[in-house]
Amino acid sequence: MYITIILIGILIGFFSANFIAKTKLSTWQETGKKIIENAKKDAESIKKEALLQAKEESYQIIRKSEAECQQKRNKLEGINEQLIKKSNSLVQKIEMIESKQKQIDEKEKEVEQKTKEINQLHQNQRDELLRISKLNLEEAKQDLLSRLEKELTHEAGKIIKDIEEKAKEEGEKKAQNILSLAIQRYSSEYTVESTISVVSLPNEEMKGRIIGREGRNIRTFERIAGVDLIVDDTPEAVIISGFDPVRREIARIALEKLITDGRIQPSRIEEVIDSSKKIVENNIREEGEKAVFETNVRNLNPRLVNILGKLKYRTSYGQNVLQHSKEVAYFAGIMANELGLNANLCRRAGLLHDIGKSADMEVEGPHALIGADIARKNGELPEVINAIAAHHEDECPESAEAVLIQAADAISASRPGARREMLETYIKRLQQLEEIANSFEGVEKSYAIQAGREIRIIVNPIEIDDYLAAKLSRDISKKVERNIDYPGQVKINVIRETRSIEYAK
């Protein structure tokens, strides 16, 4: 009984659960259908919005592309208009050229006609000349040629004078501005040096100690130092003489040390001279480095720096060569900047242009070529080597910078007070200037004045006219350049005057 009731309860529970489950399932199915329908509606809405947005973007892209196309069309139309204008301009130019060509052709015909007339006139003149002078053809030719030569010489002188006047007007203004600027921007002081050095003594007794017993001290000093030691009647002074300035400087430092120390004997002399050599070597290197720094020259071979330092102890006509080299570097750099040339190259070549003077006593040849060879061995640029070799025209300058080095060298050497010369050399140059001037026909007198910087020439006014005077001054200047070495420049002043004298009685 109980079992039946339990089974009935189980069946009732099963069917109730089954009914409830089916009820929930149908409810869930209806809910799912509603969700699916809502999702479909949302999807349709999103799809419509996306289509609208895509259409809007496509419309914007189309409008943008149309605007760009319109801009390109406008640009192409502008270019087309420019091309049309240029084409019209070219047509006009072609028409002008054709017109000019016609005019040229007409001128050529006129020239041909004039040439024929001139030839005919020349023939008539020749026939008339033969008839009047009764000369044969060869004699007439010679007479005509001599006349033509005189006329052409006169015309050549006139042309030369006109060209020189125009060139001088323009060239002198430019050159004066550049040179004055370069000189004004640089100033320097000089101490004139010679081939002797004077060492002061504390007293006269020191002379005897320097000479030593039987002269052994002075002989040892002269042998090791390579100089001459002059002990004379000059009060409290000893003179060191020698052609090598470096040796002379070493001897001066050594002698001053020996005098200060007081121990003057052969072994001590040798020791002091060795230490003095080291001092001078250090000074040479420091002077070279200082010159390189002051002129702003970079990446210079150390061997060239030492060679530059040696120039501190070398003079040329009383002018210190290292100071002169720095001046040339300054002047060349300033002028190169004004002319738009390579200023660094000019400063480098200007500083090195006289390095050959450090070895010209040991090697034969011009110091310019010796310096060029030294620069070549130490890896300098070909432009620098050429500027060094050409600064005294031992070689032809191959660049504008090389010509500037020549000009800067002349400026530094020729300015007042820069150099001094031996009297014999000075007088000889004056004589050579006058001899060259007197060698030309038509010259009556010549005078070398202004310390050889000007030669004043008096010519015969009958033989030389104004135009031939211009040609004569040019010819004399060329001959002076070829035959004489001189610092700076020489002014050739040709004077032609006519005097008319009458006496009242």
Token pair for residue 185? 């921007």
CB 284 within 8 A of CB 306: yes
CB 391 within 8 A of CB 368: yes
Q: How far apart are CA 372 and CA 368, in angstroms?
A: 6
Residues pairing with 228 in the sheet: 241
Q: Could you tell me the pTM of the whole model?
A: 0.48
Q: How far apart are CA 288 and CA 285, in angstroms?
A: 5
User: Is beta strand 454-459 parallel, antiparallel or unpaired with respect to 491-495?
Assistant: parallel
Query: Which homologous superfamily does the CATH classification assign to the domain defined by 423-495?
Result: K homology (KH) domain (3.30.300.20)
For the chain of 505 residues, list the mean pLDDT of each consecutive stretch of 10. Answer: 73 72 74 80 82 83 85 86 85 86 86 85 75 63 71 69 71 60 50 62 82 85 83 80 80 87 85 89 88 86 87 76 87 86 89 82 77 89 90 84 86 62 63 88 82 82 83 89 77 80 70
Residues pairing with 406 in the sheet: none
pLDDT at 5: 76
Q: How far apart are CA 360 and CA 318, in angstroms?
A: 17
Q: How far is CA 53 from the centre of its chain?
A: 72
Query: DSSP secondary-structure letter at 301?
Result: -
Question: Considering only CA atoms, which of 241, 348, 227, 355 is closest in space to residue 298?
Answer: 348
CA distances from 156 to 142, 163, 169, 336, 477 (A): 20, 10, 20, 35, 17
Count CA within 13 A, CB hemisphere, residue 419: 20
pLDDT at 192: 41
pLDDT at 413: 73
Domain boundaries, the chain: 135-184, 196-279, 287-414, 423-495
Would you say domain 196-279 falls under CATH 3.30.1370.10?
yes
Count CA within 13 A, CB hemisphere, residue 288: 21
Q: Which residue shows structure tokens 């040096």?
A: 193
The highest-level CATH class for domain 287-414 is: mainly alpha
